[in-house]
Amino acid sequence: MKRFQIARGLVALACLVAAIGLAGCDDNSLYDVPENISGTWSCTFTRAGEAALSETWSINQSGSTVSGSYTFKEESYTFSGTYVDGRLSAVDSDNWTLSLEFEKDDKGNGTIAGNSGDESYQVWNADLWR
């Protein structure tokens, strides 16, 4: 009988701990993203076999619409697209696809992908911060 009471007490304690843990959570706390990503961002582009590039981004946001510019290999490109739930999806002036996710602590990362002239399809990793 004692074992049953101890086991029942441990189950009750486990349920209480779980309930306290869940009470402090809401849907947004698990994945907080900045509401607005407008501004100047520093960026490092990396790709296997290539030297890392240190570049700058300028992002303008109005609602879910984004536009801006960035430098890549000393060339400037403009872009336009959307920013929804922490994800920027855009296409730049050279038809490259931009796919970035932003975090609440002013960091972002993702990829830019496309063809440059006669070169084959490329995917570069982009890490942004401000």
Instruction: Please name each of the domains of the chain with its CATH number.
Output: 39-129 (2.40.160.90)
Instruction: Give the mean model confidence (pLDDT) for residues 61-71.
Output: 97
pLDDT at 7 over 70: no
In this structure, what is the dihedral angle of CA atoms 62, 64, 65, 66, given to the nearest 10 degrees? 80
**Residue range 69-101, pLDDT digits in tens:** 999 888 999 999 999 999 999 999 999 999 999
Residues contacting 75, CB < 8 A, separation 6+: none
- The whole-number pLDDT of residue 30 equals 47
- pTM score: 0.74
Cα–Cα distance between 7 and 33 in angstroms, integer? 42
